């Protein structure tokens, strides 16, 4: 039953406000056919009368729905294509951010600047994903269990001051979360390029 609801919702979205015009358009087309049929008798084109007006109306109805659904599909395809390209660029920026933090930053200011860039990057990625699917944007945003980063962050050296510990833990936490989102984003982009779908985890 839910499948039928999804189909109906997709058709409703494709037609938009134009679905309220269907009845008027089909009625006008039917009335026009009736009028042409009557005129055709005057000119000796009796064979046109054999074409029932309801059949013409049904053809107009079907053609309009087909065209509007096709236009909706093309619009969605272009939107997904644009999002895939944007996400690919953002992934590249995310990799650079990850690679810039493989060592603990020497100062609090350096960490704060990097942290802001990472949070801004995450916001941009979520906004792009939301353009095609709200649920997937939420899936990307909320992390459950964060695995160890694929590229380990280096440990503190003996020459680093104890004050470094103030942001070292925060950096390692954010670094791991950022790498996890990079992995998710990579899987998502691959699936989008392959068949236009986004994996659910």
Q: Tell me if 156 sits within 8 A of 97, measured CB to CB.
A: no
Maximum Cα interatomic distance, the chain, rounded to a whole number of Å: 104
Q: What CA–CA distance (Å, rounded) separates 146 from 193? A: 26
| pLDDT 10s digits, 92-150 | 999 999 999 998 888 889 999 999 999 999 999 999 998 888 888 998 999 988 999 99
**Does residue 201 sit within a domain?**
no
**Does residue 126 sit within a domain?**
yes
Q: What is the pLDDT of residue 198?
A: 44
Residue 8 has pLDDT above 70, yes or no: no
| pLDDT 10s digits, 47-95 | 555 566 666 677 777 777 777 777 777 676 766 677 788 899 999 999 9
Quickly tell me which residue has 């049929």 as its tokens.
37
What total of structural domains would you count in the chain?
1
Give the range of the structural domain holding residue 59, as residue numbers without chain letter: 2-195
């Amino acid at each position: 039953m839910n499948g039928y609801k999804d189909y109906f919702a997709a058709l409703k979205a494709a037609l938009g406000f134009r679905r309220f015009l269907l009845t008027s358009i089909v009625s006008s087309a039917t009335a026009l056919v009736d009028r042409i049929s009557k005129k055709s008798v005057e000119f000796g084109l009796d064979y046109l009368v054999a074409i029932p007006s309801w059949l013409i109306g049904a053809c107009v109805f079907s053609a309009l729905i087909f065209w509007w659904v096709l236009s909706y599909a093309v619009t969605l395809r272009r939107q997904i294509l644009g999002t895939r390209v944007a996400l690919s660029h953002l992934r590249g920026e995310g990799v650079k951010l990850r690679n810039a933090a493989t060592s603990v930053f020497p100062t609090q200011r350096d960490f704060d600047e990097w942290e802001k860039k990472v949070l801004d990057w995450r916001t941009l990625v979520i906004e792009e994903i939301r353009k095609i699917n709200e649920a997937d944007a939420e899936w990307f945003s909320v992390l459950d269990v964060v695995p160890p980063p694929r590229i380990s962050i280096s440990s503190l050296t003996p020459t680093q001051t104890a004050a470094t510990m103030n942001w070292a833990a925060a950096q390692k936490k954010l670094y791991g979360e950022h790498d996890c989102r990079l992995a998710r984003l990579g899987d998502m982009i691959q699936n989008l390029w392959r068949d236009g779908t986004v994996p659910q985890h």
